[in-house]
Amino acid sequence: MNFSAVYHRITPDMCYSPDGEEVVLNLRTDRDVDAVYLIHEDPFIHELHRQPEWFGDRQAMTLTRELCHQVIWTTRVRPRYKRLMYYFEIVSEGKTYALFENKLVPLAEKDATSKQFFKYAWMNSSDIIAPPSWVGDTIWYQIMPDRFCRHHDAPQDDKFRRWGDLAGSQWNDVYGGTLRGITERLGYLQELGVSGIYMTPIFESPSNHKYNTYDYNKIDPDFGTEDDLRELVRQAHSRGIRVMLDAVFNHCGIGFAPCQDVFRNGKSSPYYDWFFINSDDFARDDYSTADGRFYSFSFWAGMPKLNTNHPEVARYFADLCCRWVREWDIDGIRFDVGDEISHSFLRLVRERVKAVKPEVYLLGEIWMDSLNWLYGDEYDAVMNYPFTGCVNDFWKNPSLTARDFMYAMNYCHALYPEQVNRAMLNFLDTHDTARAAESCGSEDVLLQMIAVLMTMTGSPCLYYGTEIAMKGKRTPYTRACMPWDAVERGDFAAFSYKVRALTALRKAYPACRGNDLVYHFDEQRPRLLSYSKGGSLRVTVNAGAKPCPVPDSGRIIFRNRCENGVLQPEGLAIQVL
């Protein structure tokens, strides 16, 4: 047995309670393991029975996930007294080993030296991470307000470029999209199947993207007013659509009032410690901070980094979040550059904001493994960039097989507890990436990817325009204006109709949203991706170069490039089992 591959620790990815009643236990091993058993009981069971030594029940574990180099064994236990002590017995090549917290030894030697059992001390309900239950049922739609829609009677202004004209576009060009414009398109979003809007920043800033905020208390006048936001939220809620705002607290814009005070008054400013300033000449005019005179987002001097360790900074932004929720009734907050903000700040924000609205969704923008932020006292979930990488890689690299896809997706699902997986924000593209339609090169492939997005565990998000296969590899083309004239002419009707069918399918079949996922492989067709969800739905995607028969599994409820039971290359079929 490969001893170095055996791993378990009491962390939320390997030992957690989804509901306060059960404990889910995961163990990683190499593929050379034949069976695993959990020996478990209450830590004090021997005292209850007046026995000299602790003892436990033996329970078989199930191989639930295959990774590229390891497998994961899982079991569930319902502790009678809310406590659990345990160890593992691992069978490999006819030999049995015992895994304790401090050692892995042959079973016959388990009592020869001191051993430390694993212990889930107590199932405190307040320690169990519990993202809002509504998130897993939500289909999000990301909007850049400047580029989505100008309301019908918006006044003309020379500072706005002609809608859709990207020729020679600059970083600060604005096109005049408004909050009222979004409100006017709520019917379109509802028909698309959207049940959540995620807007990039809407607060006063000189840029079109607004990630360099000047005033966190003022809606950017280009977008509208607080009343416009209230009306957007009110009308969205009336249609069953939630609203999430973007919070840029890692850094601010150079025009943020405390920042301006520091630039004027230096160390005598009461806000000096709100920032990370390392040199007396920090205020000199240079677009880059590579010299280290102060810290900024990346190396952009126009985005000074905020010190969220500072109690006054933490209180200021916690108060701000509470105001957003209390006054505008928003449903979620997405934290930009969410891995650079201090943990202490996030704990304070969570405590304060959840006191105002317990079901508010707190989402972190983190591009990698984010377990350190998902212990239940900071974010509810994060943006699922590993998911995006898994999906994009499979279609970009024709040498990858369906098993490779499974390994990568299982890695994503193994990172966090199942209740967190249901709340992860899954997406194919955002304002920070190339558009999915550009990357995949084909509307049929894009439809395959959207089908995976809509049938995997998590909270799916469409970037505005993905439903009409908008393209763009780099800024500003990835942030182009929504072409409403062409939409209303019906230029994209055939494709968007299929996207609406997929969003409707996700809403209609709970199995799409669940964690029960089983892969099916055809060794003769290595790029035939097929999996079932909840034992009731099967998704089959032909990413290979040759036609193949649709599995004889059940009634087809969605098809593309699929006729007479034959799935063409780039084809897709979804069946009810």
Domains of the chain with CATH codes: 3-127 (2.60.40.10), 135-512 (3.20.20.80), 513-576 (2.60.40.1180)
Model confidence pLDDT, tens digit, residues 313-348: 999 999 999 999 999 999 999 999 999 999 999 999
As a whole number of angstroms, the distance between CA 440 and CA 433 comes to 13
3-12 b/e (C-beta count within 10 Å ≥ 16 → b): eeebebeeeb
Look at residue 152 in the predicted model and tell me its pLDDT. Answer: 94
Neighbours of 60 (CB within 10 A): 11
Residue 573 in 3-state DSSP? strand
Model confidence pLDDT, tens digit, residues 128-151: 999 999 999 999 999 999 999 999
Active site residues: 336, 365
Look at residue 454 in the predicted model and tell me its pLDDT. Answer: 98
CA dihedral 199, 204, 205, 208 (to 10 degrees): 40
DSSP calls for 274-337: GB-B--TTTTS--SB-TT-SB-BSTTBTTSBBB-TTSHHHHHHHHHHHHHHHHHH---EEEETT
Partnered with residue 466 across adjacent β-strands are: none
Neighbours of 39 (CB within 10 A): 18
As a whole number of angstroms, the distance between CA 282 and CA 248 comes to 22
Place of tokens 């190396």: 299
Look at residue 113 in the predicted model and tell me its pLDDT. Answer: 84
Low-confidence ranges of the chain (pLDDT < 50): none
pTM above 0.85, yes or no: yes
Look at residue 441 in the predicted model and tell me its pLDDT. Answer: 87
- In degrees, rounded to 5, the angle at the alpha carbon of residue 428 between the alpha carbons of residues 376 and 140 is 60
β-bridge pairing 332-335 and 361-364: parallel
As a whole number of angstroms, the distance between CA 542 and CA 34 comes to 33
SS (H, E, C) 393-411: HHHHCCCCCHHHHHHHHHH
In angstroms, the Cα distances linking 576 to 454, 507, 511, 531 are 15, 14, 10, 12
Neighbours of 449 (CB within 10 A): 23
